[in-house]
Structure 1
Amino acid sequence: MASVYKEFIVERDAAQVWDALRDFGAVHTRLAPGFLTGCELDGQGARIVHFANGLVARELLVALDDENRRLAYTVTDGKATHHHASAQVFAHGEGRSRFVWITDVLPDGLAAYVEPMMAHGGAAMKQALEKAAER
């Protein structure tokens, strides 16, 4: 199984970053606008996300852990036979956070597709989270 690991520092308090990450149905407006263009909740614990590149995916919420500021989800459709991801926020000094996003995917070859998407998504998240802090 291939794992793709992305980590970045956000110039924003961990509680505020977690508040945006845990808002499962607003990922396209609060966390990754531009990278994601839409999101609908399906009433069954999943969201349908629309990516700027035209991809649409159904992401089922697996865990929402407020104590550890961790969210986990799995993609239930598409080319992957297995796709599990988690994102976690850690305090990283005063007014700063460390954001860790990990995706495990099968078949292994899909990592070459997932990695650049996560890099683009991570950049969009950092920008949106820091811009929100300026308001």
Structure 2
Amino acid sequence: MATVYKEFVVEAGAAQVWDALRDFNAVHTRLAPGFLAACTIDAEGARVLTFANGLVAREVLVGIDEAHRRLAYTVTGGKATHHHATAQVFEEGEGRSRFVWITDVLPDAMAAYIAPMMEQGGAAMKAALEGRPVAAKATAAA
């Protein structure tokens, strides 16, 4: 199984970053605007994301761990036979936080598609969380 790891420092407090991350159904407006174009909720409660490049993914919330500021989700359907991800926020000093996003995927070759998407998504998240204009757009197709 391939693992894609993305980590970045955000110039915003961990409580503020966690508040945006844990708002699972507002990911397109609060966490990654510009990278994500839309988020709808299907009849089973999964979020259906539309990326700026037109890619659509269905994500199911696995769990939210408030104490550890950690969220887990899985992607269903699509080309991957397994796609599980976690995102976690850590204190990094006053007014700063560290965002860690890890995705496990099968088949391994899917990592080549997911890694650039996570890079772009991370840049969009950092910009949005820091209150800067968002310029990131998804370009890879998974």
The TM-score with structure 2 as length reference comes to: 0.91
Tell me the CA shift for residue 72 of structure 1: 0.5
Partner of 1:74: 74
Q: Deviations over 1:47-83 (max 9, x none)?
A: 0000011100100000111111001000011000000
> Partner of 1:128 in structure 2?
128
Aligned-partner SS, 2:101: strand
- Distance, in Å, in 1 between the alignment partners of 2:95 and 2:44 is 35
Which residue does 1:90 correspond to in 2?
Answer: 90
Alpha-carbon offset, residue 44 of structure 1: 2.3
Equivalent residue, structure 2, for 1:27: 27
Given residue 21 of structure 1, which amino acid in structure 2 is its aligned partner?
A: L
Does the residue aligned with 1:117 lie in a helix, a strand or coil?
Answer: helix
Question: Partners in 2 of 1:102 and 1:91 — Cα distance?
Answer: 18
Aligned-partner Cα distance in 2 for 1:57–1:103: 14
- For 1:53, the equivalent position in structure 2 comes to 53
Percentage identity across paired residues of the two chains = 75
Aligned letter for 1:23?
Answer: D
Deviation at 1:99, TM superposition (A): 0.0
- The number of aligned residues is 132
TM-score, length basis structure 1 = 0.96
RMSD: 0.9
Match for 2:7: what amino acid? E
2:111 alignment partner in structure 1: 111
Q: Residue 64 of structure 1: SS of its match in structure 2?
A: strand
In structure 2, runs of 5+ residues without a counterpart are: 133-142
- Counterpart Cα distance in 2 of 1:54 and 1:45: 21
Higher helix share goes to which structure? 1
1:45 to partner: Cα distance = 3.2
Alignment-mate amino acid for residue 116 of structure 1: P
Q: Quote the offset at 1:43 in angstroms.
A: 4.2
Gaps of 5+ in 1: none
- Report the residue type matching 1:60 in the other structure: V
